[in-house]
Structure 1
Amino acid sequence: MTDYSDITAKLAALSDAELVAVLRPVVSGRSALWALRNALDEVAQVHHAELIDNVTPATTESPVRDASSAGVESGQVGGGIPVPAVPFPPTDSPGAPTIGGYSTSGVPTFDSVRDKVEQRFGTAQGMGELDRQTPAGRSADEQFQAREKAARERLDQIRKSVRGNDVDRHDP
């Protein structure tokens, strides 16, 4: 078993920005770590925003205010309340969520296709069984069986005639 104490000690000594800079490339190609990658990206954007001196543009106050606009005043849209990003898995990961049998990119899943095929096969099989129980279905089956019987009889006649011709040739 490998001892990770040296690595963890070195990582613990890093600042937050340095740790994010180290971990982002490590998790970038791993689809199972999508949530960690999104969290690191969010933290990286926060640190990037802290480095910019003036994020809020200068706004002008309008002298006339109505009663409906009274409330929390802020120089920015959203009132300065941070909204956390909603993590979502990448579409190329094998564990991507599906909605109604389709992936997030709109491709049907194998399970949904298999279910549709099985449902159509079952419906076709059931329709065939129901058709055979109706008078029209029974008469069609009877006609098919009569044709099969006539075809077998005709084939037997042809075979007998061919055998008869073969026997005549061999007898000089």
Structure 2
Amino acid sequence: MSEVEDLAGLLARLPDAALAAAVELATEGRAGLAALHAVAQSLAASLGDVSDVIDVTPDTLPEESYSQSETAGVSEQVGAGAVVSAVPIPPVGIPAVPGIGGYTSSGVPTFESVRDKVEQRYGTSQGMGELDQQTPVGRSVEEQWDARAKAARERLDQIRKSMHGNDSE
């Protein structure tokens, strides 16, 4: 493990108030991390003093400290199974999915999910237009539109003819 991973592991074990105080101290005086320092400072103030935090540790020992005879009960089930990690690990050979449900781990929609949504909405609107044209009401609306456009062209031609007739006088 690298030093960064070791440090991250230690920081992950800290209570929230202690972690906020540690981040506040670590970012103090760093101009590039001023925003992070301000957030850590406000979090540390809202979470309370680090000395007020009660360290809660389990009364039971970790599983490794028990002998097999202590963990196995009458049914031989307690402690006999394989240890399951909290985070699922994908099998070897299967590429890791960048985001589940179209979002990255930070909550940002992926480009593919946005493109799929746009294509789906476009296809839906195209289909709705085609279905509308196949209904009697849709056809009548289209016929009305065509009739109005024809009437508008005829009226425009009449106006042009009357304007040309006034030019010759």
Greater Rg, structure 1 or structure 2?
1
For normalisation by structure 1, the TM-score amounts to 0.47
Question: Which structure exhibits the higher relative contact order, with contacts defined as CA atoms closer than 8 Å and separated by 6 or more residues?
Answer: 1
